[in-house]
Amino acid sequence: MKRTIAHVLAAAIFILLASVSVASEPSWTGPIDRAFRARCDESTQRYVLMLPQGFDANEPVDLVIALHGHGSDRWQFVRQDRGECRGSRDAAARYGMIFVSPDYRAKTSWMGPDAESDVLQILDTMKDRYRIRHTIICGGSMGGTAALTFAALHPDRVDGVVALNGTANLVEYTGFQDAISQSFGGTKKEVPEQYTRRSAELYPERLTMPMAATVGGRDRLVPPDSVRRLFAVLKKLGRPVLLIDRPEGGHSTDYEDTTAAMRFVVEKVRSTSRVEKTTSPR
């Protein structure tokens, strides 16, 4: 009899702990797959929207724009379990943020002019529909590159950046040239200005917002040196930045580093906002 009671109690405790664990997991309303007509060329484009559990549209909310890697699409950061994707989702959910993952011209975007226009249009839509307070743009590989590029092009639209295994210099980058030239409207020789203006390393003065990046010393697909150089300059300028540099790492970022990068940027953005609010003149 005692053994039976002990087993019942143990089972009850296990169920209770399991329910607490499940309740503490980040949760969403969605995903919602949305289509829109692009302003730049009238084509139909798409993004995925996820709202935090218990979301109140009347309350101010922060926004994460998550940019997928080369060869993928809007579903990568929504569905995949890899560290970059799950870490970004979980961080956004824990902080109660809207999570948007756009195609931004899907598999071979590289934040060319059309992709840039689509992201701007999505930001306008989010601002029209919700009380957006801060916008953080993140991404992995091509998406990490795109996050840096977009922030350098539109620093007034971005409050924080998380770039995972991206490049900050498309002038010197030699990978995926067929896809990039198609996205940019020509090769480096044909439209050099596009490669220059989309290289975040060349515009550190524009990047005043909190930023975090991850790089791997053994990454041959997207070499880390340009991001290292950019963050060294930003640090000298006194910017709020975090570089997670794994000398033995490759072309990936694990869950822990992704979470750390997201946490750094979100908390810096929010703390800076609080300071500005309390020190602003009445």
Residue 29 and residue 44: Cα distance in Å, rounded?
Answer: 24
Residue 26 and residue 76: Cα distance in Å, rounded?
Answer: 18
Within a 10 A sphere around the Cβ of 217, how many other Cβ atoms? Answer: 14
Tokens found for residue 266 = 């979100």
Tokens found for residue 153 = 């092009």
Give the predicted TM-score (pTM) of the model: 0.88
Give the DSSP H/E element, type plus range, for residue 50: strand 44-52
What Rg do the C-alpha atoms of the chain give, in angstroms?
A: 20
Residue 104 and residue 118: Cα distance in Å, rounded?
Answer: 6
Domains of the chain as residue ranges with CATH: 26-279 (3.40.50.1820)
Tokens found for residue 121 = 């249009």
Tokens found for residue 11 = 């089972």
Closest CA to 126 of 66, 64, 56: 64
Tens-digit pLDDT profile for the chain (282 aa)? 444 554 444 444 333 333 333 334 557 888 999 999 999 999 999 999 999 999 999 999 999 999 999 999 999 999 999 999 999 999 999 999 999 999 999 999 999 999 999 999 999 999 999 999 999 999 999 999 999 999 999 999 999 999 999 999 999 999 999 999 999 999 999 999 999 999 999 999 999 999 999 999 999 999 999 999 999 999 999 999 999 999 999 999 999 999 999 999 999 999 986 555 434 333
Q: What's the Cα-to-Cα distance from 83 to each of 80, 103, 228, 252, rounded to whole Å?
A: 9, 20, 21, 8
Residue 170 and residue 115: Cα distance in Å, rounded?
Answer: 16
